[in-house]
Amino acid sequence: MANQVLVIIEHGARGINPASWETVAAGQAMGVALGLPVEAVVLGGADCDAVCTQVATRQLTAVRRAQHPALVPYTPETQVQALVQVITATAPGYVLFPHTYQVRDYVPQLATRMARGLISDAVGFRVEAEQLVLTRQMFQGKLAADVVFNGEAPHFVSFQVGAFRGDKALMADTPTPIETMTVSPNAPLLQPGEPFQEAKQAVDLSKADIIVAVGRGIKEPKNLALMQDLARVLGAELAASRPICDSGWLPMDRQVGSSGQTVAPKLYLAVGISGAIQHLVGMKGARTIAAINKDPEAPIFEVADYGVVGNLFEVVPALIEEIKKLKS
Amino acid sequence: MKILVCLKQVPAKDAPIKVAAGETWIREDVTYEVNEPDAFALEEALRQKEAHGGEVVALTVGPARAAQVLREALAKGADRAVHVEGEAAAQLDGFATAEAIARAIPGEHFDLIFTGLQSDDYGFAQVGVVLAELLGLPHATIIMHLEPTATGIRVKRELEGGYFQNVDMPTPAVLTIQSGINKLRYATLMGIKAAKNKPLTRHSLEEMGVTPKLNRQTITRLYVPTRSKKTEMLTGSAKETAARLVEHLRNDARVI
């Protein structure tokens, strides 16, 4: 007999990680496709009750609450020990997570301890001949792969942030029942400190209407001047993909992507950015996306409304001229 | 400190990737390079050794071509290298790759083991953490700084949205290193010469019993993704495309 789908809710000092709602939506869709009940699991400390009450507003069979003081602050070992107990007791068919930094930190360990597989960073699923087929991006989004599990359940899956719509998670007519489970993780081996930010963010890119973002394609820092000209004529903020900030060509607070800022401007103009997954998650919510890149296969064109395949050192000056013409 | 650095050879960033016949892997006639976060992991190991002494061992799991990343690591300053070699290496999933690494290093007793946080080909982000579990060691991921303390090490982990966190932990430990943790060095001519005399040990995957049969997941089909969004591709000279882009942004998208 097939068993239920378990959705593991991630939450912390700043409340429920919004990516968890996406996983709830994914779990609900998977439950329908496989004809399985869907449950959520909330692990944590004193904030467990508030989180459980929030999760119980969604359409689920049960919310499983596992509270223990050793689970706060998060460490991978304590999280794994508690989840091994929950999973062993509930014997699910599938265990779902959002592919957050925290999930990358402990879920490979959890799956390995339970001698099971983890298909990480999936972007979708379908059911074929009663088998779950997951889709993943590979080679930085240049290719996609259909992937299946080998071996026995439970199967572990993490879904890419943004792959499902969190606001599409179905609401419950009456609150989902909350069931308390007992977990007993050991004292943590790691001593984590409080989360902190490096410096006050000088630029709030999330407020910008227009963003010109540059990537490796600009080749040398001296070419930033041309990009600054483009940003100036558009009245745009200048942003960048991670490698540009890693190289120190632009400050870190101008980085868009999973490790930088998440933006949703009216216009996002990507110049010389290939569109690695880590960048796309930070900008694919933009209303209009235009991209200039020399590689017609660049994944950035997957999300762009308008694409120009060409030499950016020719296209950008021409673009500046055209915009100046328009504005004069 | 005795440090192991795990390096993977992946297709170069601008390599034109084509799906091979059979539709489960790519055509191998592309150029390769070291996986980017792994290059930062190597650099960090070399810097730790320069600051605190010890030994840096570079390891790769890969086919014969992957020896190149070990030669580069030796030229940059690694003391010796281990090549876990086999044509099946590219077909191993994250779990099987971690098994291959674990089986290649018995009795080595490294103080620290570094991997990059994920590879640019599969992008599992699993090998380092699985390896830690197989070896029974603590781990920390997405590391941006590292320093020894009286009882072990203090690492700076990158969290999401521009946040960081310091974590104190015991050694031995496994760390996954984030790109940008340091500035990469180039190999010197002297380093390249010296590398020729440094030890490079080979193990075969078969002899260690590692095959794709250990995989916990299987790729059933590899393909070019279908576009989820209708992209209007503008063609012509730079001047023409620029003019048409501005027209679209002005009249259709109404964003300028």
For residue A143, which residues of chain B lie inside 8 Å, CB to CB?
17, 19, 26, 222-225
Give how far A63 is from chain B: nearest CA, Å: 26
Under a CB-based contact definition with an 8 Å cutoff, are residues B213 and B69 in contact?
A: no
Mean pLDDT of A5-12: 97
Q: What tokens appear for A318 in the block?
A: 């021409």
Contacts of A197 (CB under 8 A, 6+ apart): B162, B163, B164
- pLDDT value of residue B142: 96
Which of A139, A148, A277 comes nearest B121 by C-beta?
Answer: A139
pLDDT band at A182 (very low <50, low <70, confident <90, very high): very high
- pLDDT value of residue B226: 81
- Enumerate domains of chain B plus CATH numbers: 2-214 (3.40.50.620), 228-256 (no CATH)
B229/A contact by beta carbon, under 8 A: yes
Which of B95, B221, B233 comes nearest A112 by C-beta?
Answer: B95
Question: Cα(A195)–Cα(A185) distance, rounded to whole angstroms?
Answer: 23
Q: Quickly list DSSP for B13-75.
A: TT----BPTTSSSB-S-S-EEE-HHHHHHHHHHHHHHHHH--EEEEEEEE-GGGHHHHHHHHH
Domains of chain A, residue spans: 5-181, 205-327
Chosen for mutation from B151, B246, B247 (greatest number of chain A CBs closer than 10 Å) is B246
pLDDT band at A201 (very low <50, low <70, confident <90, very high): low
Question: Cα(B243)–Cα(B256) distance, rounded to whole angstroms?
Answer: 13
Contacts of A286 (CB under 8 A, 6+ apart): A211, A263, A264, A265, A266, A267, A268
Q: Percentage of chain A surpassing pLDDT 90?
A: 86
Q: Which residue has the tokens 């199967």?
A: A155
Under a CB-based contact definition with an 8 Å cutoff, are residues B33 and B68 in contact?
A: no
Task: Indicate yes or no: CB of A253 within 8 angstroms of CB of B238.
Answer: no
Mean pLDDT of A119-143: 94
Q: Which residue has the tokens 């997570």?
A: A97
Domain A205-327 in this protein, CATH class: alpha beta
Which of B164, B216, B231 comes nearest A305 by C-beta?
Answer: B231
In the 8-state DSSP scheme, what is residue A261? B
Chosen for mutation from B18, B24, B141, B254 (greatest number of chain A CBs closer than 10 Å) is B141
Q: What tokens appear for A86 in the block?
A: 């929950």
Global pTM reads: 0.90
- pLDDT value of residue A227: 97
Mean pLDDT of A317-325: 96
B residues 120-159 closer than 8 Å to A (CB): 120-126, 129-130, 132-134, 138-142, 157-159
For residue A14, which residues of chain B lie inside 8 Å, CB to CB?
none
Residue A215 above 90 pLDDT? yes
- pLDDT value of residue A2: 63
Q: In sequence order, which ranges of A47-141 are alpha helices (DSSP H)?
A: 48-55, 76-90, 101-113
E strand or H helix at B219: strand B217-223
Give how far B196 is from chain A: nearest CA, Å: 31
Judge residue A14's burial from the number of C-beta atoms within 10 Å of its C-beta, 0-12 exposed, 13-18 middle, 19 or more buried.
Answer: exposed
The 10s digit of each residue's pLDDT in A57-82 is 999 999 999 999 999 999 999 999 99
- What CATH architecture is A5-181? 3-Layer(aba) Sandwich (3.40)
- pLDDT value of residue B91: 94
Question: Cα(B177)–Cα(B117) distance, rounded to whole angstroms?
Answer: 5
Residue A41 above 70 pLDDT? yes
For residue B238, which residues of chain A lie inside 8 Å, CB to CB?
310-311, 314-315, 317-318
Q: At what angle do helices B94-104 and A101-113 cross, to 10 degrees?
A: 70
- pLDDT value of residue B161: 76
More confident residue, A194 or A207: A194
- pLDDT value of residue A200: 63
- pLDDT value of residue A14: 85
Task: Indicate yes or no: CB of A108 within 8 angstroms of CB of B243.
Answer: no
Q: What is the CA radius of gyration of chain B?
A: 21
Contacts of A274 (CB under 8 A, 6+ apart): A140, A215, A216, A217, A293, A295, A298, A299, A300, B13
pLDDT band at A286 (very low <50, low <70, confident <90, very high): very high
CA of A3: how far to CAs of A65, A290, B56, in Å?
19, 45, 47
Q: List the one residue out of A267, A277, A257, A261 whose CA is nearest residue A304.
A: A267
- pLDDT value of residue A204: 82
Q: Percentage of chain A surpassing pLDDT 70?
A: 98
| Bridge partners, residue B154, by sequence | B147, B168
Under a CB-based contact definition with an 8 Å cutoff, are residues A313 and A327 in contact?
A: no
Contacts of A275 (CB under 8 A, 6+ apart): A140, A141, A291, A298, A299, A300, A301, A302, A303
Give how far A310 is from chain B: nearest CA, Å: 7
- pLDDT value of residue A1: 41
Task: Indicate yes or no: CB of B166 within 8 angstroms of CB of A193.
Answer: yes
**Mean pLDDT, chain A, integer:** 94
Tens of pLDDT along chain B (256 residues) come to 999 999 999 999 888 899 999 999 999 999 999 999 999 999 999 999 999 999 999 999 999 999 999 999 999 999 999 999 999 999 999 999 999 999 999 999 999 999 999 999 999 999 999 999 999 999 999 999 999 999 999 999 999 877 899 999 999 999 999 998 999 999 999 999 999 999 999 999 999 999 999 999 999 999 998 877 789 999 999 999 999 999 999 998 888 8
CA of B215: how far to CAs of A61, B88, B95, B96, B123, in Å?
33, 11, 7, 6, 16
